[in-house]
Amino acid sequence: MWNHLSYFEEHAFCPYFFKTAVEIASEVLQTPVTMTDLFSPVSIWLLRTDFVLDFPRPVMPNMIFIGGINCLQGKPLSKQS
């Protein structure tokens, strides 16, 4: 019952609370955007994490690492003996 109530509350109040976000998205994309468009499932996940320090988990093909030390091109090691 709680799941149904929260579902109806989200659909009733989210358009009011996120009205500014919808307007900004419509202006930036130059097309009409609805709340469903903003919160629909995405096909690409942008991950900003350090996978060395994080707990082990699989990386699916639709996950792209952005930023962080795992994506930074490393400097070459010095030639000191």
Residues 29 and 19 reside in one and the same domain: yes
12 in helix, strand or coil? helix
* Residue at 78 is within a domain: no
Q: How far is CA 81 from CA 10, 19, 75, 76, in A?
A: 63, 62, 17, 15
Look at residue 81 in the predicted model and tell me its pLDDT.
Answer: 62
Residues of the chain with pLDDT under 50: none
Residues 29 and 59 reside in one and the same domain: no
Look at residue 13 in the predicted model and tell me its pLDDT.
Answer: 82
Q: Give me the domain span that covers residue 62.
A: 40-70
Look at residue 46 in the predicted model and tell me its pLDDT.
Answer: 77
Look at residue 68 in the predicted model and tell me its pLDDT.
Answer: 62
